[in-house]
Structures are given as structure tokens and as C-alpha cells.
Amino acid sequence: MTEPKGENMKKLLLTVALLSSTAGFAFNAQQEFQAKCQMCHTLGAQAVGPDLLMAIPRARKFFGKKADKFFLDFMKNPAASIQANPKYVATWGKPAMNAMPPQPFNADQVKKLIAWIESQKK
Ligand code: HEC
């Protein structure tokens, strides 16, 4: 190698940055949950948002095979999803708060996130 060390380090850092920003690559569901969901959702207890260990199975039961689509739509636009699913929302036993901001994840990321949450059930 004829390049000075600093240049190699720069290239390495750039490569790492590019790889980790590629959609779906190294998607860490636990980190995403801690950074983007935990402030409102406590697993195992109601917080600002519902206990997702209760709510996810409830949605799976209601939507059946369409549950994954519901989760994806809900992440994209919670308010629109609440409007579009009045019968499901009626099972909540209380009015929707419309407090959840949109979560820009792709389908694969939503699947991984929901699967990770479900895996936390003791
Ligand atoms: C600012 C608070 C907030 C954040 C951040 C948030 N949520 Fe929510 N979430 C809510 C609230 C409140 C509801 C209940 C819907 C309502 O009342 O409007 C909800 C509902 C949900 C539901 C539907 C539950 C059901 O009853 O079917 C899912 C799934 C969900 N959130 C997942 C997530 C995930 C995953 C993240 C992180 C990527 C997240 N939420 C981030 C507040 C939040």
C-alpha cells in the first residue's frame, strides 16, 4: 500500500457508512424499537401507546392473513389506518388518540420490527 494511513481509514469509514445506510442492511430491530418506539410503547404494559405484546396478537387475530399489511399501513400513516379500520378500532375499548407519528420503514423492516417485538413475549 502506497497510500498514507489516514486515507485508508477514511475509505474504511466511508465504506462502513455506505453499508449501514443501505436500506434493510444491518437493520437492528431492537435498536430501532429503543430509538423510535419505546418512548411511547412499553412491552408488557400500557404507556402512552398500547402494550404491543397485547396489541399485536389482537391485530393478528382480527386481520388474519392481512395483519402484516395492517402493520405496514399503520406504520406509514397511523391516523389514516385508524380511519380506514373503524371495526378494528372499536375493539380497543377506547377512542383512538391519533398520537402516533408516521414511522418510515419498508415492508421488510416492519416485519422484522414486529417479529422482534413478538419475540419479547416471556
Ligand atoms: C409518540 C408516541 C408513539 C410512538 C413514538 C410510537 N407509537 Fe405506536 N402507538 C401510539 C399510540 C398512542 C397508539 C394507539 C393508537 C391511538 O390511540 O391513536 C399506537 C399504536 C400502535 C400500533 C397499533 C396497536 C393496535 O392496537 O393495533 C402499533 C402496531 C404500534 N403503535 C407500533 C409502533 C412501533 C413499532 C413504533 C416505533 C417504530 C411506534 N409504535 C411508535 C403511540 C406511539
Task: Please say whether the beta carbons of 120 and 33 come within 8 A.
Answer: no
**Domain range holding 74?**
27-119
pTM of the model: 0.85
The number of distinct structural domains making up the chain is 1
Which three three-digit cell numbers place residue 47? 404507556
The C-alpha atoms of residue 55 and residue 96 are separated, in whole angstroms, by: 13
pLDDT in tens, 82-94: 999 999 999 999 9
If you measure from the C-alpha of residue 75 to the centroid of ligand 1, how many angstroms do you get, rounded to a whole number?
A: 8
Query: Is 9 domain-assigned?
Result: no
Inside any domain, residue 18: no
| Per-residue model confidence as pLDDT tens digits over 15-70 | 666 655 555 468 999 999 999 999 999 999 999 999 999 999 999 999 999 999 99
Task: Judge whether 11 lies within some domain.
Answer: no
How many degrees, rounded to 5, is the angle at CA 103 between CA 31 and CA 120? Answer: 40
Distance 97 CA to ligand 1 centre (A): 10
In a domain, 106, yes or no: yes
CATH number, domain of 38, equals 1.10.760.10
Q: Is residue 20 part of a domain?
A: no
C-alpha cell belonging to residue 99: 398520537
Residue 111 to residue 77: CA distance in whole angstroms = 16
Among protein residues, the one with the nearest Cα to ligand 1's atom 41 is 37
Give the pLDDT of residue 44.
96
